[in-house]
Amino acid sequence: MTARAVALLSGGLDSILAIRILQEQGVEVEALNFRTIFTCCQDDAGKAARDLGVRLTVVSQDDDYLDLLRKPQHGYGRGANPCVDCRIYMFQRAAHFMRQVDAQFVVSGEVVGQRPNSQMRLHLELIARRSGLDGRLLRPLSAKLLPPTWPETEGLVDRERLYGFHGRSRKDLFALAKQFGVTEIPQPSNGCALTETLFSLKVFDLMDHDPQAQRWDFELLKAGRHVRLDARTKIVLGRDQADNEKIDYLYRQQESRATMLLRAHGFPGPTALLTGPADTAAIDFAIGVLLRYSKNYDVDGAAVIVETAGAVTSRPVQGQQVIDDAELVTHGGTPQMRHLRKRVAAST
C-alpha cells in the first residue's frame, strides 16, 4: 500500500522539513495550508510547496473560529492567540481533508517544547486527541519523544528514521535542512496578528465592548488607529494611504456595520469610519479626532465630507473642536492608551 499523508504547510522551515522527512521514506504528501483572517505571509506556503513538488490546498477558517477566539477553552497565549484551540480547530479540518483525499494520516512540523503552550508535550497530545486524529497525527521532527503513531506501528513510516528534536534551539533543524539540500531558510514567523501585543489590545477591546462582533468587525481591526468614544461608539482612522483605502473599502461592503464615513476635503488627513450610533456628539467627536490627526488645513476653507446611509454632506471645519490627546484619554482613547493607563495605575 502506498502511504499517503496530508501535511500542514505554513511555509516555515519546520513544516518543510517534516514533509522532506516523509518524502525520504517514499510517502506521498498533499500539503494543506490553513489561514485565518489574522494570518498573513501565505506566499511562503506556495513557494515551499513548489520547491517540495507537492500539491497545495488552502483552507480558510469559518465564522465559528470567532467563537473559539471569544472563549478559548484552553486560554490565550501572550496576546489574543488561542493557540491550543486554534491547533485543534486546524487539525479537525486537516482530518476532514485527509478523508476527502484518501490519505491515511496527517503530518505537522511541531517540535516538542519549541513554543510555549501549544507545543508543550501535554498539549501536543491533547491536540491530537481533541482533533479526533489521535494516532493518525505524526510529528516527524519530535516523533521519538512521543508515543508511536498509527503509521509507525503499521509500518508505513520507519520510526528509526524520524527525529527527537526538542526545545527552541534551531541548530539541529538547520543541520537537517543542510542535509536535505534546503538552502533557502525561511525566517521564523508565524505571521499571525493575534500574537502581536498592540493588535491583541484591539481584539480584546472589540470583544469586551461588542460580544456580537462579526467577521467584518475583526477585519476592521487590521486597518488604522482605533479610538473609542464610549462603549458603543468607535472611530477608526487611516494611518496612511493603504489604511485609508481599506477603510473606504470596508465601509462599502455589504456586511459593513459602520454608520458613517468621513474624509478630509482639501487638506491631508485620514479617512475615518464611525461604528455605533451616529448622533451629533459622535459626529463632532469623529471630526475632532480626524482634525487631531490632520495637517496644514485652512480653518476658513477646509471641510470634512461625511457619508452616511447613501447621503453625502460637507461639514466646514470652522467651529469644530479639535480633540487633543488629553481629551482622547478622558474619552477612553485607543486600546493602547487604556492599556498604558492600566499599567501605570497598577504600578502606583
Binding stretches for ligand SF4 (CB under 6 A)? 36, 39, 81-83, 86-87, 118, 190, 192, 194-195
C-alpha cell at 255: 456586511
Radius of gyration of the chain (CA): 25
Those residues whose C-beta lies under 8 Å from the C-beta of residue 230, and which sit 6 or more positions away, are 276, 331, 332
Q: Pick the closest to residue 85 from 61, 56, 106, 114 (CA basis).
A: 61
d(CA 341, CA 333): 10
Nearest residue (CB) to ligand SF4, 83 versus 138 = 83
- DSSP β-bridge partners for residue 107: 7, 138
Alpha-carbon dihedral sign for residues 290, 292, 294, 298: positive
d(CA 216, CA 256): 6
Which amino acid is it at 325? D
Nearest residue (CB) to ligand SF4, 87 versus 246 = 87
State in angstroms the smallest separation of the CB of 7 from ligand SF4. Answer: 16
Nearest residue (CB) to ligand SF4, 127 versus 261 = 127
For residues 144 and 163, the answer to whether their CB atoms sit within 8 Å is yes
Nearest residue (CB) to ligand SF4, 65 versus 285 = 65
State in angstroms the smallest separation of the CB of 159 from ligand SF4. Answer: 27
- Secondary element (H or E) of residue 302: none
C-alpha cell at 256: 459593513
Nearest residue (CB) to ligand SF4, 7 versus 306 = 7
Nearest residue (CB) to ligand SF4, 68 versus 322 = 68
d(CA 66, CA 281): 32
State in angstroms the smallest separation of the CB of 115 from ligand SF4. Answer: 8
DSSP-derived 3-state class of residue 198:
helix
d(CA 13, CA 11): 7
Nearest residue (CB) to ligand SF4, 79 versus 238 = 79
d(CA 32, CA 19): 11
Burial class of residue 154, CB neighbours in 10 A (0-12, 13-18, 19+): middle
- DSSP β-bridge partners for residue 273: 236, 261
State in angstroms the smallest separation of the CB of 336 from ligand SF4. Answer: 21
State in angstroms the smallest separation of the CB of 274 from ligand SF4. Answer: 30
State in angstroms the smallest separation of the CB of 137 from ligand SF4. Answer: 15
Nearest residue (CB) to ligand SF4, 91 versus 251 = 91
Nearest residue (CB) to ligand SF4, 82 versus 276 = 82
Nearest residue (CB) to ligand SF4, 52 versus 90 = 90
- Secondary element (H or E) of residue 45: helix 43-52
Q: Pick the closest to residue 205 from 178, 179, 183, 227 (CA basis).
A: 227
C-alpha cell at 84: 491550543
